[in-house]
Copies of this chain bind each other. A is one copy, B any other.
Amino acid sequence: MFNRKCIVEYDGTDFCGWQAQKEVRTVQMEIENALETMYKDRLFAIGSGRTDAGVHALNQVFNFRTDKHIPLSGFVMGINTLLPKDIAVKHAEDVHEDFHSQKSAVSKTYMYRLLVRWTPSALDRNRVWWLKKKPDTALIRELLRAVEGEHDFACFCAAEGMKENTVRTIYHTKVYEDGDYISLEINGSGFLHMMIRIITGTVVRGAFRGQKPSDMLEIIRGKDRRKAGMTAPACGLYLKEVFY
C-alpha cells in the first residue's frame, strides 16, 4: 500500500469549495477525476480540511492510498496535465501509511488579503477584499493579536457550522502592509466554519471603530455570532500552509 502526500495550489474562484458534492464543480472531485485517469481506479483524496467556495489555496495538502505505484517524477507532471488550469499540484512524496492529511495536521496558516483603494481592481477582483477606506494597520495587528490563545470561539463560527466543541487555539497572528495591500495571517490548531473570515470582518470593523483589544475579548466572551463583525468575502482568503 502506498500513501502519497501532495501539496496543491488552486484558484477557488470557479469552485464550490474543496469537498466533493454532486452536480457542482469542486477541487476534490477534479483531483479524484485526474487520479482515476492515472490509476484506473476511483481513489479518495483526503484533504487537510475543506475550503469554502471562492477560497484559494497556496498549499493545500491531500493524500491518497493505492496499491499501484506511479513514480513521483512522472506523477506530478502527469497529474498537472490532467488537471484543469486552476488546480496545480506543486509537490508529491510517499509517506508512512499512517499519515492522514486532516488528522495528522498540527496547525494551519491562513492568509487574508485586503486591497485598499478608492476604485475597484480588475486584476485582483477575485483575489482580495476591496476596501475603499484604509483601516489602521497597526490597530488591526493589535486587535488580531488579542484573539491569540485558547478560546471558545463560538462568536466567530457560522451558525450552520456550529459544533459542540467550539474551543480552538490560535498560536500566532501576523499583519503586514505591502503597497495598497494589507495581509493578515493566522496560524492555529484548527478553525471553525468561516472563522477566519469572521475574525477578519471583526478586526477590520474594530479598526474602523477604533476599538481596543479588550473589545475583542468581550466579543469572544459573549459567544454570540451577532456581536462579531461581518463575514469577510471568500475571495480574499488563502489556505497558506498546513503543518505536520
Contacts and interface: CB of A to CB of B under 8 A. Distances in A.
Interface of A: 9-11, 56, 58, 76, 80, 85-91, 117-123, 125, 127
A125 B90 contact: no
A123 B89 contact: no
B119 A88 contact: yes
A122 B76 contact: no
Given A11-B123, A86-B125, A88-B125, 7 more contacts: A9-B121, A9-B123, A11-B125, A58-B123, A76-B119, A80-B120, A90-B117
B122 A86 contact: yes
Pick from A56, A120, A122, A125 the residue with the most CB of B within 10 Å.
A122
B122 A11 contact: yes
Contact of A89 (B56, B87, B88, B119): B119
Contacts of A58: 123
15 contacts: A9-B122, A10-B123, A11-B122, A11-B123, A56-B123, A58-B123, A76-B119, A85-B125, A87-B122, A88-B119, A88-B120, A88-B121, A89-B119, A90-B117, A90-B118
A88 to B, nearest CB: 4
A169 B121 CA distance: 32
A90 B120 CA distance: 8
Contacts of A121: 9, 88
A80 B123 contact: no
A144 to B, nearest CB: 24
A56 to B, nearest CB: 6
